[in-house]
Structure 1
Amino acid sequence: MDQSISIEEIGERMKAFRLGAGLTPEQLANKAGVSRAAIYRYESGQPAKIDTLVKIADLLDVSLPTLLGAGVEYIASAVSFFERMRQLEENVDQISVLFGPVSYLLTTDLYDEYLPQVLKESIPDNVERRDQALRDVDTLIDILTARKTNYRKRAPSIISLISAAELNQFLRVGFVGAHNPPDVDLGRRREIARIEIENMVRILRDHPIGVQLGVVVDSMPGASLQIFRQANRMSVAVSPFRLGAFANVRLGVATISAAPDATQLYKTMTSQLWARSLKGEHAARFIEQNVLTRAQPPA
């Protein structure tokens, strides 16, 4: 497995952490004492001196090994994390997903229509630097839109595992960012959740090329994860961030690793979950009978 440090990927990580820090290239350049053009060069994959990288890593509040991709990347920003996801997905051949309640890449355009408001609902009114948090949502939406556009253009194969328990919760509470958000039509939000689940049922029945869905009816890992495979390279991203009901795009630390021991362990775990999951017509009927017809809205 190739674990070499790529100059181009250093630039990608720099951009991701800069976005997560809420800095423009000009602002980072001024703080680092380099030109704006230099930041653009570094982010496009041109090399930088090690002392410059040390200074930039410090300004972006990440370790130098994380910026270099030497070992595990630790990411405390949802913006940075989803930007790294976008970057990793640009050239992959296969994506394995455990992201609940449904994989974002397979959601409908209606989901994208409501997602900005849902993410903003998830940010408490009294949170520190709320204005910046709301601006981060706008940045995040741009990143997610680019991810979905790239996925639909390239159509890498995707294996997505869905938790039946999470689908039940999604339908019961609706597509909301917080518990009973004010001035929100909860009936409409539950309808949107139903539309997304029905979309999963259609995918299970239609078997679109390159898409495989499995419904897990027993326990699932607490954190979301995604495995990226490309030729002889594999990476795994583990995240506390979520985009569905009760979204979380503020708190937590995600990790990304290409270490063979980590990728092999997660590959084995997902393979075991896939083997136990319901698929095709069996899974579609299970969702219809145990999720869509049984869910009741909360009292």
Structure 2
Amino acid sequence: MALQYDEIGQRLRAFRLASGLSADEVADRLGISRTALYRFEKGELAKIETLERLSELLNVSLPTLLGVGIEYIPSAVAYFERIRQLEETAEHIVVLSGPISFLLGSNNFEMALDQVLRESIPDDLSNRAKALADVEKIMEILHERKRAYHERKPPIVNLISAMQIEPFLNNGLIGRVTLTERQKAVRRDMARAEVEHFASIAEEESIGVQVGLVTDSLPHMGFHIFRRRSGDVLTISPFRLGERPNIRVGVAVVSSAPDALSLHEDVVKEAWYTAIKGREAAAYLRELLAKAEANQRAANSYPSLAPAIYS
């Protein structure tokens, strides 16, 4: 198997960002210059001994760093950086997501994410300072992803789970459940605005953007398929943005194995075949919006019935 040094450099950068170590700190610990480290991250050849020391320092296996087999990524920072890198060269993107897909989300959604991700970090978390620092890194990466997407506009197929939209509308865009009732009301308004945004996207049927609303069951974890000239790549991730986000727990997988890609392509084909699209999808989303608003009015009028409504 021929090693692609530019992609080794990309993985090196992703895991270095996730480690919380600066380029200077990594270079000092390895006894190399920061310039040399940056050259490695740009894909210049590094000695295997240096890569071994880097993998040990960054707590990642050498096969994962080299891209031999499957990459296992336990960090949301590293995962979103790898996604950003893959999107840079993707000629076509397939996304299977929950109620919200970041690239097609509104600017307001991106603006709200920083607060939502921060509140998802428990107050008593032992390493809370690092977790909050990770949020800042993630937001920088996400902002760059959105900028690059609008600049390149690669064609995208986005499958959205209809079954996850109702709880998203009822709960709102929240990072924790212990918000005040007023805060929850604001977050429900945010969620409704985002679902209306996706209804408009589906209705427009713009060239290069295909949205399918899947009313059947979908895998709980989302995935991406990046179709690239240099080879297709699959990513599967427990990290999620949107309702009750998760940026702390789980292990993402990046793979270019033909069987993994083929099996997930089959999932996409079946889901797309049964998905509702275009104006039908927009109408369905707006029906869910109307239902959520009616439920909320009933809950406000009869507070004692709220548990029954949301059970």
TM class by shorter-chain length?
A: over 0.9
Change (3 A) 1:286 1:110: same
Query: How many residues align structurally?
Result: 296
Partner of 1:18: 16
Q: CA deviation at 1:43?
A: 0.5
**Which of 233, 236, 241 is the aligned partner of 1:235?**
233
Q: CA deviation at 1:4?
A: 3.8
Q: Does 1:153 align with 2:188?
A: no
Q: Partner amino acid for 1:151?
A: Y
Q: CA deviation at 1:213?
A: 0.3
Q: CA deviation at 1:182?
A: 5.3
Q: Write the mapping of 1:167-182 to structure 2, written as runs, cut at 5 A.
A: 167-181=165-179
Looking at CA atoms only, which structure, 1 or 2, has the larger radius of gyration?
2
Q: Write the mapping of 1:72-221 to structure 2, written as runs, cut at 5 A.
A: 72-181=70-179, 185-221=183-219
- Give the conservation status (yes or no) of the 8 Å contact 1:19–1:79: yes
Distance in 2 (CA, whole Å) between partners of 1:18 and 1:105 is 24
Distance in 2 (CA, whole Å) between partners of 1:162 and 1:56 is 38
Compare 31-40 and 54-63 and name the one that shifted more.
31-40
Once the two structures are superposed, residues 147-202 of structure 1 have per-residue CA deviations (whole angstroms, 9 ceiling, x without a partner) of: 00000000000000011111111111000111133596211111111111001110
Once the two structures are superposed, residues 16-50 of structure 1 have per-residue CA deviations (whole angstroms, 9 ceiling, x without a partner) of: 00011111111111122221111111001111000
Once the two structures are superposed, residues 73-129 of structure 1 have per-residue CA deviations (whole angstroms, 9 ceiling, x without a partner) of: 000000000000000000111110012211100011111111000001111011121
Q: Partner amino acid for 2:81?
A: E
Partner of 1:58: 56
**Which of 285, 289, 292 is the aligned partner of 1:292?**
289
Q: Partner amino acid for 2:289?
A: L
Tell me the SS of whatever aligns to 2:213.
strand
Compare 237-246 and 24-33 and name the one that shifted more.
24-33
Partner of 1:223: 221
Tell me the SS of whatever aligns to 2:130.
helix
- Give the conservation status (yes or no) of the 8 Å contact 2:6–2:41: yes
- Give the conservation status (yes or no) of the 8 Å contact 1:238–1:255: yes
Distance in 1 (CA, whole Å) between partners of 2:205 and 2:64 is 39
Structure 1 length normalisation: TM-score? 0.96
Uncovered stretches (5+) of structure 2, i.e. residues with no partner: 300-305, 307-311
Distance in 2 (CA, whole Å) between partners of 1:101 and 1:251 is 20
Distance in 1 (CA, whole Å) between partners of 2:159 and 2:82 is 21
Q: Partner amino acid for 2:240?
A: R
Tell me the SS of whatever aligns to 2:240.
coil
Tell me the SS of whatever aligns to 1:114.
helix
Change (3 A) 1:158 1:125: same
Q: Partner amino acid for 1:113?
A: M
Structure with higher helix content: 2
Q: CA deviation at 1:232?
A: 5.9
Q: Partner amino acid for 1:30?
A: D
Tell me the SS of whatever aligns to 2:276.
coil
Distance in 2 (CA, whole Å) between partners of 1:117 and 1:149 is 20
Partner of 2:252: 254
Q: Partner amino acid for 2:172?
A: G
- Give the conservation status (yes or no) of the 8 Å contact 2:8–2:67: yes
Uncovered stretches (5+) of structure 1, i.e. residues with no partner: none
Q: Partner amino acid for 1:37?
A: T
- Give the conservation status (yes or no) of the 8 Å contact 2:97–2:161: no
Tell me the SS of whatever aligns to 1:102.
coil
Distance in 1 (CA, whole Å) between partners of 2:275 and 2:39 is 46
Tell me the SS of whatever aligns to 1:294.
helix
Q: CA deviation at 1:133?
A: 0.4
Structure 2 length normalisation: TM-score? 0.92
Distance in 1 (CA, whole Å) between partners of 2:263 and 2:31 is 42
Distance in 1 (CA, whole Å) between partners of 2:177 and 2:147 is 31
Change (3 A) 1:228 1:104: same
